[in-house]
Amino acid sequence: MSQQQRNNLIGIPREASSSQLLVKNEAGEVFIATSVSITEKISELSYIEVAVLNLGMDVSAWLGQHISCQIFDQISPSREPVRVYKGVVTGVKILFDADQGSCIALTVEPWLALLRYSRNYRVFQNKSTQEIVSEIFTELKFSGKYQVKKMPKVKREYCLQYNETDLAFVCRLLAQEGVHFYFERDSDMLILQDAALPFDDADQQDFDHFSLPSGDNPLLNHWAPAFRYHSGVLQLAAYNPASTALVEAESKTKSALPGSHSLTDFRYPHPSISGDLSDINKSSAQRSKAQQDSDYSLVNASTESYLICSGNYLKLTSHPDLEQLDDYLVIAARSIYQVDEKGGLSNHTDFNCILSSLPYYPPLLEKPSVSGMHSAVVAGTSAGESTCDNQGRIRIKFHWDEVTGDKTSCWVRVAQSMAGRGYGLQFIPRSGQEGLISFLEGDIDRPIVTGSLYNSKHKAPYAEAETTKSGIKTQLKGESNELRFDDKKDSEELYLHAAKDYFLEVKNDRKIIVENDVDEQVEGKKSVQVTKDISTKTDANYSLDAGKAISEKAQNITLHADKTIVLKVGSSQIKISASKIEIKSSEISIKGTSKVDVTANNVNLKAQIALKAGSANTELSGDIGVKVKGGTMAELSGGAMTTVKGGMVMVN
């Protein structure tokens, strides 16, 4: 504390009823203050510094106390405070000690400031900003200390609070939606309101410029308009993967600035909310441009009046420049109340205001920037299951997310080596696996899965001793499908395993070259269906072995051999060579249901014991002659009659 402040303490009354600056704590105890300074602004926390005479109270006991700072413009038994500032003590320090007590400095902020001391990582899904903010306020036991006048109802499909305090997160969402907040005059009631709506004008006050006092209104002893140049057009763009299109929107300034019409402020990507991206882009552009317009014309002013408060209107009723006469909105103010050494109270307020016709939008606040990769677990109903939508997107669960189930995040896109319209590469991480997460443009609300990670629970398919092996191995339950490559020297191998069925489809030609052996083993049936020809050629032997039977069926079957064809069953065989056909068996039967013809230059029928030819009629004929001869005996006989007939018959 300065010497001047110490001197001012000399005239400070020691009775509360004789002081114009008082502080009251939660217990109802009243303390005398020596000075109060208040800084307040729409959509920002007010900040109060109070110097208090502390008589007998433990200094540290002030922390966390809800107090009110009361400002009086007079000393009388029936007086009422002209201003009341309420808040929570978030800081305290001793300015100096004296015999009768100490003088301490209190830092007082609204209850909303307590959200600064709560930091979190969490995901909100399919909720509006109002629902998210209300959930946080209720969670922190502040459900009755705020009022929503109007807020947009747009749902956020996915909203991530990432390493942010609850205060920073809430303020960021409100600014993004074009919602400002402020505290009611002389109250700790927080008001949330769409910035496009006007403020309550119940506390509007008329002011005169000090150079033209009317005698009825408080004076403004300083009034200085300031102007700031800005671009004429604001253009926002964002890529919408749902429509695979670039969605653009623009808004033009209301201020007629020379040359600004050709200046475009183009922003891509912009902070977006889920919903119809075209409407969101348009409203975002309008809000951002309105925020620029409100900065175009800003008035810096000051007064000794108690009546200035951010979020209130004032009317300028007199000024040398008649164009200044208008209604204004106070957007920020800093007031200082000071007790002088004679016990008198002085007040000075510096403030900023804009034309009331301009909506005041809070400036956008930056999202936390995410650098590098992050890890998460693929969400699903059961471990190992594959759960994705028609775009190949999955749900994820960050390690810090306490929510369980299969909807711990929105549908998150999965990066692939190639992604075409109905074609490309598709490997979808399974439930329970660890995924590698990145964020498009560093935007925490746009996660993307870029890969998967092995860990102590999910180990790599090939052990440390198999470092030469690479491949793809998929598994859901039981058996797995696998394509493996082994680059081990002299043991190189390509291995393909199907857990059940293997289907190969070739639209045109298929060519296989094997430079050594082929070993094919089928434990069930094998069926080959060919529309055109089949040709099999070998430079060595061709062997066909069946355990039971071999059946061939065709309109024509041709067996061709340059030397010999042998058909063999046991001791029986048919041997076909280029010059003859040999049939060998213990018994040979030739049967024709209609006719059997044997034709040759010479036909010899020879039997070791007997040769028999017989039927209803048996005829032996020759064009020249027929000879029947028996080495020992020849017999011709008929059961009824025997006829021997010829041009000449010789019987000897």
pLDDT tens digit sequence for 482-496 = 999 999 999 999 999
pLDDT-derived band at 12 (thresholds 50, 70, 90) equals low
pLDDT-derived band at 304 (thresholds 50, 70, 90) equals very high
CA distance 538 to 514: 13
Most confident residue range from 155-159, 413-417, 601-605, 647-651: 413-417
User: Which stretches of 99-232 are assigned E, i.e. beta strand?
Assistant: 101-109, 119-128, 146-150, 155-165, 179-183, 190-194, 205-209, 219-227
- Predicted pLDDT at 614: 65
Q: What predicted TM-score, i.e. pTM, was given to this entire model?
A: 0.78
CA distance 636 to 235: 125
Who wins on pLDDT, 350 or 339?
350
Percentage of residues in the chain having pLDDT higher than 70: 87
Name the token pair of 177. Answer: 């939606």
Name the token pair of 605. Answer: 């029928």
- Predicted pLDDT at 8: 47
Position 505 pLDDT exceeds 50: yes
What confidence tens digit (pLDDT) does each residue in 18-66 have? 789 999 999 999 999 999 999 999 999 999 999 999 877 788 999 999 9
CA distance 181 to 189: 10
Other C-beta atoms lying within 10 Å of the C-beta of residue 461: 17
Percentage of residues in the chain having pLDDT higher than 90: 48
Three-state DSSP at 149 gives strand
CB-count burial class (<10 Å; 0-12, 13-18, 19+) for 82: middle
CA distance 347 to 369: 43
Position 448 pLDDT exceeds 70: yes
- Predicted pLDDT at 236: 78
Position 478 pLDDT exceeds 90: no
- Per-residue pLDDT, averaged over 520-547, amounts to 91
| Mean pLDDT computed over every residue of the chain | 86
Most confident residue range from 58-62, 286-290, 437-441, 448-452: 448-452
Q: What is the DSSP letter of 419?
A: B
Position 292 pLDDT exceeds 80: no
Sheet holding 264-267, edge to edge: 245-252, 233-240, 264-267
CA distance 67 to 91: 13
Give yes or no for a contact between 424 and 418, defined as CB atoms under 8 angstroms apart: yes
Name the token pair of 245. Answer: 């299109």
Three-state DSSP at 435 gives strand
- Per-residue pLDDT, averaged over 310-320, amounts to 95
Strand-pair partners of 88: 66, 109
CA distance 313 to 357: 11
- Per-residue pLDDT, averaged over 143-147, amounts to 86
Position 76 pLDDT exceeds 70: yes
- Predicted pLDDT at 634: 65
Position 619 pLDDT exceeds 50: yes
Name the token pair of 417. Answer: 């080596």
The helix (H) or strand (E) run that includes residue 138 is helix 129-139
Other C-beta atoms lying within 10 Å of the C-beta of residue 471: 15
- Predicted pLDDT at 10: 47
Among residues 162, 204, 126, which one has the least CA distance to residue 367? 162
CB-count burial class (<10 Å; 0-12, 13-18, 19+) for 610: exposed
- Predicted pLDDT at 11: 47
**If you write DSSP's letter for every residue of 557-601 in order, what string do you get?**
-----SSEEEEEETTEEEEEESS-EEEE-S------SS------S
pLDDT-derived band at 624 (thresholds 50, 70, 90) equals low
- Predicted pLDDT at 248: 72
Name the token pair of 473. Answer: 């191995």
Domains and CATH numbers, the chain: 3-109 (2.40.10), 113-194 (3.55.50.10), 205-332+350-355 (no CATH), 369-419+426-457 (2.40.50.230)
Q: What is the DSSP letter of 342?
A: T
- Per-residue pLDDT, averaged over 424-451, amounts to 90
Give yes or no for a contact between 474 and 481, defined as CB atoms under 8 angstroms apart: yes
pLDDT-derived band at 67 (thresholds 50, 70, 90) equals very high
What confidence tens digit (pLDDT) does each residue in 358-384 have? 888 888 888 888 888 999 999 877 666
- Predicted pLDDT at 21: 94
Position 302 pLDDT exceeds 90: yes
The helix (H) or strand (E) run that includes residue 345 is strand 345-355
CB-count burial class (<10 Å; 0-12, 13-18, 19+) for 192: buried
- Per-residue pLDDT, averaged over 113-139, amounts to 93
What confidence tens digit (pLDDT) does each residue in 193-230 have? 998 888 888 788 999 999 999 988 999 999 999 988 87
pLDDT-derived band at 411 (thresholds 50, 70, 90) equals confident
